[in-house]
Every structure is written in C-alpha cells, then in structure tokens.
Structure 1
C-alpha cells in the first residue's frame, strides 16, 4: 500500500505555479457553512499556497491534471474504483488501526483529513461528481463529531497522528524527508489563531455542523 509513501512525498513537495483560471470562475457559488466545515476537515493536510480551503475544488486555480497527478503518483489512484477503495480504507481503519496496534493511539483526525483531501482531489480529477464528493464528505462527519468537541481537539489528534507517522519514517534512508514537526505545528497554530480572519476554522466554528445550515 502507498499510505506512508504518499504522505512522505506530499509534505516534501514545494510550491507550484498554477496557470489555470481561478477556481471561483468555475465554481462561483460560495459554500454554505456546513459545506465549508466539511471541506475544512482537510485544512491541516496541505500547507501549499495553491491549496484552496474554502471550495470543494482542492486548488485555488483550475488544475484538473494536477489533481489526477496527485492521485496517481501519491495514492496510486487512477479510477473511480481505486478512489472508492482508498476512501473506504481510510474511513474504516486507515492509519489509526496500525497506530493503535503499535502505539496505543488511534488518531481519527489524521485519517479524516486525508479522506476529505482525497475526496476533493477525486472531484478535481473528474473521477466523481460534485454530488458524489459531497456525499463522501458527509459520510465521515458522524464519526468525527462523535470523537471531537472542537477544532483544537481535532488539531491535537491530527498532530498526534503525524508524530506516529514520523516514527514510522524514522528509519527511511531514501532522501524522502518530511517537513519538520515545527512546520506542521505552525500551520495548525495559524488555523486555530482566533485573529486569523482567513482561517476556515474561524469562518466555520466547530459547532457549526451541529446547527441548521445557512449561507455564509
């Protein structure tokens, strides 16, 4: 399986230049608060400036080929069936099953963030429709809401999952070195900073998903 390999490469990747039109030109309708909350589950995954955190589409500019490339190269996903299988794996066990067995912890937030990121990439790659992508995101919500009571708790468990993953990579000698933990810490701190007006976690507070949906 390519789970550990994907995260190593993903974090090692640098910024890319995007030549396509802005995502909002294709998808001008703002997300509702519930939709933004679901998309925000993947906010910790990518620190790239090319990543969009306020649209279902995963990038700030249209780059369907890049979405297909990410899935194929980092997750070995090239079909609807492959996408469905990987999402099912993450929703049922993912990294947390292995982490529980080896380290005695089961960081759902890590798997949930990857799950939502992959579903969004699948939409961007054209492997699933917009409706199918929203259905996939809705499927992960109940387990996340049962497990956490705040974005802070979610962030803490995400970072715990990352540390478990780093332990798995401690013996790697292939040059695929992940970003330092301090980079992930800083990214999560920015998302949690109440003064950060662009953070999706401030735009859609944790209890948003427990109240009726509304436009932003």
Structure 2
C-alpha cells in the first residue's frame, strides 16, 4: 500500500542518514529488501539498542535534547534536523527488527513532526542544519576509534545535493515537498517513471 503524502514526508526526514544502496527512502521499512537482522545489528552496534525500552529511551532523548545541545554550546545554533534524521532512522529500524510495531513507529514519527515543521521552512533549510549537526558530531569524534568509521563530509554533502536536486526523480524530498505536511493528507499519484504500462 502506498504511503500518504504525510507518511512519505515523515519517512523522508531520515533521507540524509541512508546513503547505502540497499536503503529505502520511500517506505516505513528502511531497506529495499527484507533485512531485519541488519536493522537489529545496526541498532545494537551504533546505538547500543537491543530492547524496546532502550529504543524508546533513545527516541525520547533525541526528541528532547539530542546532539543539538552540544551544537548550541559550540556554534550558537541547535540543529534539530540532525537529531530528527537520527530519530526517524532509529524508529524505522526499530520497526524493521520488531522492537516496535507499525502503529508505534508511525506514532513516533508523528511526535517529531510539530517541532521539525515549526523549525524549518524547506528541505534546504533542513539539509543545512543536518549538515551543521553532522559536522559538530564529526568534530566530537576526533581522536577516537569511531573517527575513521564516519563517512567523509564530502560524501554527506554530495548526498544532500542529490536529495535537493530538482531533477532527481527518486529523491523523496521531490516526491514529498516540504509543504506537503501542512496540506491535507492524500495518497500521491505515482511519478511518470513509476506508472505501469497498460
């Protein structure tokens, strides 16, 4: 069943996080193919999340404080977009590996919408703040074992440019424009490239 415009918009909050080929940016399930073990592994290795309680606690922390508190101290700006992207990614992976059900995943995503929609006026503003948050996060990794594991900033920059490119028909940000969350919800028509031939 296709996502509504609002659902696609919410899922699209995590689009900057998923740069791998196997990710899905247009479904609640975060992968193009079933990979519950991959979701479970990523949550455990990157976030230390192995239970529903740990998942809920991490989502709560990202929604209330997240990394933006440190960013505000260092830059004077609190980039909510970085935390919102991580929050959405974690909720989707929690759904993928069964730590939360579909209804709980949608509820979690709906909970972040008011603050994100009230903070930004476009996907470009969201992307700019995501990159700022990511830079502060990367700077915090300097001299640690995790520094080498983080993708270079140039990779993140290129990914965001691709998401913002109006010619990119696969970009969820083009499929669900920023203002879609403020308009009445509906099921979007398939793009011309996705229509089946009769």
> 2:111 maps to what in 1?
139
Aligned-residue RMSD, C-alpha: 1.2
Structure 1 residue 173 displacement after superposition: 5.3
Q: How do 1:74-113 and structure 2 match up within 5 A?
A: 74-113=46-85
Aligned partners of 1:58 and 1:203: how far apart in 2? 17
Structure 1 residue 46 displacement after superposition: 1.7
Aligned partners of 1:205 and 1:129: how far apart in 2? 27
Aligned partners of 1:182 and 1:168: how far apart in 2? 17
TM-score by length of 2: 0.92
Structure 1 residue 174 displacement after superposition: 6.3
Question: Which one of the candidate residues 51, 58, 67 is aligned to 2:23?
Answer: 51
Aligned partners of 1:48 and 1:115: how far apart in 2? 18
> 2:186 maps to what in 1?
214
> 1:13 maps to what in 2?
none
Aligned partners of 2:146 and 2:156: how far apart in 1? 22
Aligned partners of 1:57 and 1:94: how far apart in 2? 23
Question: Which one of the candidate residues 127, 148, 164 is aligned to 2:120?
Answer: 148
Aligned partners of 1:130 and 1:156: how far apart in 2? 30
Structure 1: give runs of 5+ residues left out of the alignment: 1-28
SS at match of 1:42: coil
Aligned partners of 1:113 and 1:105: how far apart in 2? 17
> 1:166 maps to what in 2?
138
Structure 1 residue 102 displacement after superposition: 2.9
Structure 1 residue 177 displacement after superposition: 4.1
> 1:118 maps to what in 2?
90
- Contact 2:18–2:25 (8 Å) recurs in 1: no
Q: 1:174 to 1:80 in 2, by over 3 A?
A: closer
Structure 1 residue 170 displacement after superposition: 2.3
> 1:3 maps to what in 2?
none
Aligned partners of 2:55 and 2:142: how far apart in 1? 29
Paired residues, number: 188
Deviations 1:67-116 (A, max 9, x none): 11111111111111000000000000000011112332211000000000
Q: Give yes or no for the alignment of 1:35 onto 2:7.
A: yes
Q: 1:149 to 1:165 in 2, by over 3 A?
A: same
